[in-house]
């Protein structure tokens, strides 16, 4: 097999050690000499690794994406060598691996022959925004947990506040919670704190707020409410940081928001995960595969055995599915039509993933071409099916030996 890189190295990265194997070929000889050295993972040790690779005249370095341990190694070597990050799942499937061959040597051999498919690694600025958007998601989840814990304490005190108010941390709910924490026990006075726009009647509120609140309940409520408020402040701080970081590409984020179901938060998360340079992905299909929004390849003897989606970027995938649920509620939209069309045959879960894949495809073209979203319309599939039916019938008539000319009738609902 042809050798693409004569002097390359493979790194087997662990938490405390890095095993480096340099594959060194001399001239046009097919045989190569292997040099293996183990280094630590401290900054000093990684700099020694860089110096050793330079001394060996290595040009390309490959490592596996093992948790977060590869990141500091990547940061130290970046700019000094041509780095390749390999997906462990792909490398495991390459045939020819022997049990007595070290991981680092195997990686170096695969790289030398061009058998390592490089994973997408974001630039430093994008990686920072990605950390922020993922942290924001975790904070929002923790907010929900704190609300659920407050609801649990209220249930323990037989206060049915969440049965009459959809959001107990809103204006009315917060006022009542603070009053309960402050020692107020009269349900009528607590109900009077409700905002005038609240749908619940005063009688229903009064009955829901009639319970038995102890000092322990007040302490727990205050604990959870303070934690909830602290998380809210963290989210506000993260939002400000994200907005500042995305200022150079604010126009790209704004264009993504022209898609149905995509908010500013969602657009920021999408950009943080895939970036704005679509040149990293040869086509929209490659991006869909990387995100895990396409069926896995499991076919034998012409039969598909498994159509579940493949593993991909979980943060991007869940965000797009959330956006898809919002998009399918948009009236007279292409995404709503597609969802109902597929749901009738395959079910809601597969239909919503298909809509998410369509939205990511649209995002790819929006970011690549610098255009805004253009909805295909709710009647897109009707027109598409009509065109296919007409072409099929026209082809059949010609096969029977007749000539036919197709023209739209005046007043026809759909253009052909």
Distance, CA of 202 to CA of 188 (rounded, Å): 8
More confident residue, 196 or 105: 105
pLDDT for 380 beyond 70: yes
Weakest mean pLDDT among 28-37, 112-121, 130-139, 222-231: 28-37
- Burial annotation 210-233 (CB, 10 A radius, 16+ → b, else e): bbebeeebbebbbebbebbeebee
Distance, CA of 175 to CA of 224 (rounded, Å): 15
The whole-chain average pLDDT of the chain stands at: 88
pLDDT value, residue 389:
80
Q: Which residues, in sequence order, are CB contacts of 157 under 8 Å at separation 6+?
A: 211, 212, 213, 214, 217
Give the helix ranges, DSSP H, for 157-279: 161-164, 171-181, 187-191, 202-208, 215-245, 250-256, 264-274
pTM of the model: 0.81
Distance, CA of 336 to CA of 250 (rounded, Å): 28
Q: Residue 149 class from Cβ within 10 Å (0-12 exposed, 13-18 middle, 19+ buried)?
A: middle
pLDDT above 70: percentage of residues in the chain: 92
pLDDT for 277 beyond 80: yes
* Pairing verdict, β 60-64 and 303-304: unpaired
DSSP 32: E
Question: Which residues on adjacent β-strands are paired with residue 22?
Answer: 9, 35
Single out the residue of 395, 391, 415, 411 nearest to residue 403, CA to CA.
395
234-249 pLDDT, tens digit per residue, is 999 999 999 999 999 9
pLDDT value, residue 109:
87
155-200 pLDDT, tens digit per residue, is 999 999 999 998 999 999 999 999 999 999 999 999 999 888 888 8
pLDDT for 305 beyond 80: no
pLDDT for 67 beyond 80: yes
Give the helix ranges, DSSP H, for 294-347: 314-327, 334-346
pLDDT for 301 beyond 60: no
pLDDT for 303 beyond 70: no
Distance separating the N- and C-terminal Cα atoms of the chain? 53
* Under 8 Å between Cβ of 323 and 355: no
Which backbone phi and psi does 233 adopt, to 5 degrees?
A: -65, -35
pLDDT value, residue 395:
87
């Amino acid at each position: 097999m042809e050798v693409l890189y004569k002097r390359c190295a493979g790194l087997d990265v662990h938490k405390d050690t890095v095993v480096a194997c340099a594959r060194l070929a001399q001239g046009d000889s097919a045989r190569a000499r292997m040099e293996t050295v183990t280094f630590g993972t401290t900054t000093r040790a990684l700099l020694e690794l860089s110096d050793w690779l330079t001394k060996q005249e290595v040009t390309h370095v490959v490592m596996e994406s093992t948790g977060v341990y590869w990141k500091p190694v990547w940061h130290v070597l970046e700019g000094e060598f041509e780095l390749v990050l390999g997906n462990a799942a792909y490398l495991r499937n390459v045939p020819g691996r022997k049990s007595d061959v070290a991981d680092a040597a195997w990686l170096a051999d695969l790289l030398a022959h061009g058998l390592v498919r490089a994973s997408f690694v974001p630039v430093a600025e994008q990686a920072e925004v990605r950390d922020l958007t993922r942290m924001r998601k975790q904070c929002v989840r923790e907010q929900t947990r704190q609300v659920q814990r407050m609801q649990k304490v209220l249930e323990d005190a037989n206060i049915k506040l969440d049965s009459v108010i959809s959001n107990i941390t809103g204006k009315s709910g917060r006022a009542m919670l603070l009053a309960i924490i402050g020692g107020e026990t009269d349900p009528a006075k607590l109900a009077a704190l409700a905002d005038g726009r609240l749908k619940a009647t005063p009688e229903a509120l009064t009955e829901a707020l009639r319970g038995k609140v102890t000092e322990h309940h007040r302490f727990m409520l205050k604990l959870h409410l303070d934690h909830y408020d602290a998380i809210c402040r963290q989210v506000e701080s993260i939002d400000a940081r994200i907005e500042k970081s995305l200022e150079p590409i604010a126009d790209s984020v704004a264009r993504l928001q022209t898609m149905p179901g995509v908010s500013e938060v969602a657009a920021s998360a999408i950009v943080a995960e895939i970036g704005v340079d679509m040149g990293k992905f040869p086509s929209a299909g490659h991006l869909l595969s990387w995100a895990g929004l396409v069926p896995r390849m499991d076919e034998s003897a012409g039969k598909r055995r498994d159509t579940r989606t493949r593993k991909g970027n979980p943060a991007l995938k869940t965000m797009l599915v959330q956006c898809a649920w919002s998009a399918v509620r948009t009236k007279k939209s292409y995404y709503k039509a597609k969802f109902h069309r597929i749901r009738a045959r395959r079910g809601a879960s597969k239909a919503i993933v298909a809509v998410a894949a369509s939205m990511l495809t649209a995002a790819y073209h929006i970011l690549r071409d610098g255009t805004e979203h253009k909805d295909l319309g709710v009647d897109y599939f009707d027109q598409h099916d009509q065109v296919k039916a007409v072409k099929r019938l026209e082809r059949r008539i010609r096969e029977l030996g007749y000539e036919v000319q197709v023209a739209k009738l005046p007043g026809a609902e759909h253009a052909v």
